[in-house]
Amino acid sequence: MARAIWSGSISFGLLNVPVKLYSAVSKQTVRFRELREGDGSRVKHKRVAESDGKEVPYEKIVKGYEYAPDQYVVLGRDELSDLEPQRSRAIEIQDFVDLDDIDPIYFEQPYYLGPDKGAERAYSLLVQAMKDARKVAIARFVLRNKEHLAAIRPMGDVLTLTTMRFHDEVTSPKDLDDVFEASKPKKPDQRELQMAKQLIESLTSEFAPSSYRDEYREELLDLLERKAEGKEVVSAPTEEPKPTKAPDLMAALEESLAAVKGEEAATDGKASKPKAKAKSPSKSKSSSKSKSSSASNGRKNTSRKKTKAKA
């Protein structure tokens, strides 16, 4: 059973809806321990002072802000505690906006909001009202001694809360002007642009999250399992994709589009040849040199780019 990590209430106007906060994601990170090579002894890290190399106990550590090289403004724990935001139990809604008005770059960590005991009716009312209005609530709340900006929106019969970055935390694209100053992108050729649009359209489909897998994690776990069983591990050769040069853009677009149309025609005609699927790098690289044609390579590269872009 899911455990709540925070409890409070959604507050807007004179309405207060008691809720509980639950994590909406479960990170599947493969974690490693640091060991000494040879005997596998665990490695521990100690906090030591640079001046004499002596270990510093936790209670003797203070926070320092470096305002100039090797010059610090020191703050004690009491001073930091006084600056911490008040531990309010309210999620205060500031505005209601359209979801399309929020650039995804502002989103951070997703959570679920569930009703607390006795708040089921008010919770259901808020969910239905937001669904009908097709709006997202922008709110503020305090979690783990830090004030967060958040977006609240309904997902089915449940409210979701996603913490957001503040405006000054997002780098503006204008800060990249110096990157393009030396070689500003030229206006695309109309024929190339039309071909690129056709390729995008031919690869457009409904977003299905389950069709995208963390291939690196799967291969890493497979490698660990084989090594744990004492099996021999052979590294597959790696091959970095080369960027398409400007003179080859049209040829690459035409070849990619022809490959996609060829697969669609084979599928429509119920041909025996199965539709090409994206394979994990370690399993496909060894056979790609002998079995893949240039058209299928164009298709795989395009599919992978699409997968990464969506993920």
How large is the greatest C-alpha to C-alpha distance in the chain, in angstroms?
77
Identify whether the C-beta of residue 166 lies closer than 8 Å to the C-beta of residue 149: yes
**C-alpha count within 13 angstroms, C-beta hemisphere, residue 189:** 9
- CA 55 vs. chain centroid, Å, equals 38
- H-type alpha helices, the chain: 77-83, 120-133, 177-181, 190-202, 215-228, 249-268, 281-291, 294-310
Would you say 271 and 213 are in contact if contact means Cβ atoms under 8 Å apart? no
CB-based contacts of 228, cutoff 8 Å, min separation 6: none
Q: How far apart are CA 226 and CA 233, in angstroms?
A: 7
Q: For the chain, 311 residues long, give each residue's pLDDT as a single digit of tens.
A: 789 999 999 998 888 999 999 999 988 889 999 999 999 999 999 999 999 999 999 989 989 999 999 999 998 888 877 776 666 789 999 999 999 999 999 999 999 999 999 999 999 999 999 999 999 999 999 988 889 999 999 999 999 999 999 999 999 888 877 776 656 667 778 888 888 898 898 888 898 988 888 888 888 899 889 888 888 776 666 666 776 665 677 788 888 888 887 776 666 655 444 444 444 444 444 344 333 444 444 444 444 444 444 43
Task: Please choose, from the candidates 141, 132, 111, the residue with its C-alpha nearest in 3D space to the C-alpha of residue 9.
Answer: 141
- Determine contact, residues 109/22, Cβ cutoff 8 Å: no
